[in-house]
Amino acid sequence: MTDRQHLDEEALAELQDVMEDEFDVLIQTYIVDSRDRIASLRTALAASDADAFARTAHSLKGSCINIGAPRLGELCLEAEEAGKAGDLGEGSELVGAIEEEFATVTGLLDRLLVR
Amino acid sequence: MSQNILRILIADDSDTDRLILQALIKRLGHEVIEAVDGLDAVKKFGEDHPDIVLLDALMPRMDGMEAARHIKVLAGERLVPVIFLTSLSETEDLVRCLEAGGDDFLTKPYNRVIIEAKINAFDRMRRMHDTLSQQHQEISERNRQLLEEQSIARRVFDNVAHTGCLDSPNIHYHASPLSVFNGDVLFASPLPAGGMLIFLGDFTGHGLPAAIGAMPVAEIFYGMARKGFSGADVLREINQKLKLILPTGMFCCGALVEADFKLGQLRVWNGGLPEAWVIRADGDPVLLPSRHLPLGILPPEQFESVMEALQVWPGDRLLMMTDGVLEATNDHGELFGLAGVRRCLDRPGSGRHPFDAVVEGVRQFSVKTAESDDLTLVALDITDQPEVPAVQEQPPPSALAGPTEWRCEYEIRERTLGDFSPLPLLLHICLEVPGLRTRGGEIYTLLSELYNNALEHGVLQLPSEWKHSADGFGRYYSERQARLARVDGHYIRFSLHHTRKPGGGRLRVVCEDSGTGFDFRNHPLVSGQGGGDSPRYAGRGLLLLKRLSNNITFRGRGNHVEIVYDWNFSEHQGDGDDR
Amino acid sequence: MPIQTSLAEDGKTLVIRIEGRFDFSTHQAFRDSYEHADSKVTNYIVDLSDTTYLDSSALGMLLLLRDHAGGDSARISIENCNSDVRRILSISNFEQLFAIK
């Protein structure tokens, strides 16, 4: 498992600065967006579509890295590589880990919004 | 630092990433257009013409690489930087982005400093490209204008210079369409008495300055040739004019040839052009090198216009060229040179025309260097009686306007006999008569036969049979020069008298000279009886006079000749043969 | 420099030496060589030892020098021409205007 942070506080602070009033919108968008993509991962897994699995993981990885969720990004990379390799044997465990980390990140982000 | 506001297209299917990127870019002060996938990006590119495009590599419907290819096609000449947004890390994926026309990458997470630096760098590149293509366009436009101006100038020049009788079957020439802008000129004109005058010139310099110098030369050449001035007169006039109008340092290398097919004589003046060649019918070459300074350098009083005379026979060919021929260069940087011309001509019996041989020789020699635009070549075949296409005369303003009843007398004396030909002046007077304008050739022939007989056989006492042998020919002309220098006490007098007749007119010409005359009463051609050779009117001269005029009378001791020339309006030019 | 000038020991002869091609590209340098010369200069030597090629614009430049040096009274000699250069000068009959050695 990765030992990266759940959230990169520094990156988030910069985003807050850049986005100004739109920061909340960004967080909401990220959460909705990511939830959709995780659902897509499940669908691809059910269909044994390694290609779609890899592509969805790739996209999710991009926004996780951008938003400042490096550990989740790392998990997505593993999923992307598994998909590219056509090996979905551990797919279910990977998606499970992603879902778990996403829940953690969401909880942390929620607190950020409340603050 | 002030900066451009750019229109930037960003395409990313991830709403999160797009939100972050557009916020970053807006903060840099640019305008953002958003697209949610590749297809959307191509559509919005077409609608909004952004300056820079940021494309996510992997997108649904159409991925970034394909979108980039479409966008580059749509952009055409315009430089639109395409930057890929990616978290791709494998080299081969990055290579695919570049192959699709990507100019750079931005990796996630986005870094505002790097984004700003890249956008600014591509903006500079884009503007530099715009400036370059704008300059390129201006240059292309300028060049197009220049070519158009050249073609207009060419038409003006053609109107002044026309092709004269260059289309005669016995003339061959090669001159590129814009050769005048390389400083080359080539003119040919029939002479009123038959024969031709050909001028080949090569101005120093290129382009407009060279072409401008060519205009007065054309005017002088055609104007004077038509009026019957001699080659030497034409040369003096051209030299004087060019000396006057050209700045020091600009001049015209040239060669003038006066061909008299009846006498079988070429007179050549070469000032600064490569050797002219006469190729005898049997292949033997005679070289006529430049013996004078080019035209436009010497003041009139120092200018030497004496032409070299050469006897020629049918089957001989004259070849003249500009130095572009000698300076043609091959792949190895070697010059064609005089040796190259010699190689082409040194194949007797090949049956090829020397002109074709040299043109082909130069073409093969300089096959890969486009030198052929800069050279002009002309050949003249010596024939018995060349067909000269009629040069269009200006139609007379009115067939009836002009003097018809007049008389004049003109006498030249002493040293003027050696310096001056009265023929152009006398011809000019005669051609004021409307009905005679189209008969200039016949009138000139009559006047010049009378004059030349009076001068050469009357005043100078030269025996005409000398002209019929190769040795005598040279002797004849050197003796002519020598005797012209001592003509004290001599004169030639012309009396011209014109009257109207119903439907036409009558010109009487009396020519008297101070010579000893000849025994015309016993001359075979005058009296119609057989007899020995006579020193005067032995050749074609008298036959010509008899054929062209209605009546010819000798008086005094044979030094007084009168001819009568009748003409009618209804007759056309050239009908003289029927008389 | 393709054109070098020097003053001979007599102090009144300007030697102009042209290296390589003597054509339109040397126009300005050739002019400068004599227009900026000492006012005591009365004689000119154009040294063509190292001149490989000469075209008609070079002939024009020589005429300009001749004008500058007093036209018919100009004292100009053209020296050390190779055979190609010599041929071009003689086709144009420049020996009538210059002393060619």
**C-chain residues within 8 Å CB-CB of B288?**
none
**C-chain residues within 8 Å CB-CB of B250?**
60
Of residues B575, B441, B440, B433, the one with CA closest to residue B498: B433
Of residues B431, B374, B367, B444, the one with CA closest to residue B404: B431
Question: pLDDT of B162-196, one tens digit each?
Answer: 768 888 889 999 887 666 677 888 999 988 878 89
What is the CATH classification number for the domain harbouring A53? 1.20.120.160
* Chain B nearest-CA residue for C54: B327
Measured between alpha carbons, how far is A17 from A23 in angstroms, rounded to an integer? Answer: 8
B388 CB burial (10 A radius; 0-12, 13-18, 19+): buried
Q: Does the pLDDT of residue B262 top 50, yes or no?
A: yes
- A59 vs B14, B19, B27: nearest CB: B14
Question: pLDDT of C47-73, one tens digit each?
Answer: 999 998 888 888 989 999 999 999 889
Q: pLDDT band for position B396 (50/70/90)?
A: very low
- A63 vs B16, B23, B112: nearest CB: B16
For B266-285, b where at least 16 C-beta lie within 10 A, e where not — what string? bbbbbbbbbbbbbbeeeeeb
Of residues B31, B25, B53, the one with CA closest to residue B110: B25
- Neighbouring-strand partners of residue B223: none
pLDDT for residue B189: 92
Structure tokens at B574: 């050239």
Structure tokens at B9: 């297209």
Q: Does the pLDDT of residue B370 top 70, yes or no?
A: no
Q: How far from the centroid of its chain's Cα atoms is residue B451's Cα? A: 34
- B462: Cβ–Cβ under 8 A, 6 or more apart, which residues? B456, B476, B479, B480, B483
Percent of chain B with pLDDT over 90: 34
Establish whether chain B is in contact with chain A, requiring a minimum of 3 CB pairs below 8 angstroms: yes
pLDDT for residue B540: 61
Q: How far is CA B114 from CA B8, B175, B569, in A?
A: 16, 63, 96
Domain count, chain A: 1
pLDDT for residue B88: 61
Mean of the per-residue pLDDT values for chain B?
83
Greater confidence (B378 vs B167) lies with B378
- Print the domain residue range for A40: 22-114
Structure tokens at B14: 């991830």
Measured between alpha carbons, how far is B285 from B281 in angstroms, rounded to an integer? Answer: 9
Question: Has the ipTM of the complex gone over 0.85?
Answer: yes
User: Is there a domain that residue A16 lies in?
Assistant: no
Q: pLDDT band for position B579 (50/70/90)?
A: very low
Domains of chain C: 3-100 (3.30.750.24)
* Chain B nearest-CA residue for C67: B248
Question: pLDDT of A6-21, one tens digit each?
Answer: 888 888 888 888 888 8
pLDDT for residue B556: 83
Nearest CA of chain B to the CA of A102: how many Å?
15
Domains of chain B: 7-132 (3.40.50.2300), 162-381 (3.60.40.10), 406-578 (3.30.565.10)
Question: pLDDT of C24-50, one tens digit each?
Answer: 788 888 999 998 888 889 999 999 999
In A1-115, DSSP assigns E strands to none
Question: pLDDT of B66-103, one tens digit each?
Answer: 999 999 999 988 889 999 988 766 677 778 888 888 89
Subunits with 3+ Cβ pairs within 8 Å of A are B
Greater confidence (B573 vs B265) lies with B265
Are B289 and C91 in contact (CB < 8 Å)?
Answer: yes
Query: pTM for this one?
Result: 0.60
* DSSP states of B218-259: HHHHHHHHHTT--HHHHHHHHHHHHHHHSPTT--EEEEEEEE
User: Is there a domain that residue A5 lies in?
Assistant: no
pLDDT for residue B213: 83
pLDDT for residue B394: 46
Q: pLDDT band for position B527 (50/70/90)?
A: low
Q: Does the pLDDT of residue C99 top 90, yes or no?
A: yes
Q: pLDDT band for position B575 (50/70/90)?
A: very low
pLDDT for residue B226: 83
User: Is there a domain that residue A76 lies in?
Assistant: yes
Measured between alpha carbons, how far is B188 from B173 in angstroms, rounded to an integer? Answer: 11
**B-chain residues within 8 Å CB-CB of C61?**
249
Q: pLDDT band for position B535 (50/70/90)?
A: very low
Cβ pair B21, B10 in contact under 8 A: yes
Q: Are strands B285-288 and B276-279 parallel, antiparallel or unpaired?
A: antiparallel
Are A26 and B20 in contact (CB < 8 Å)?
Answer: yes
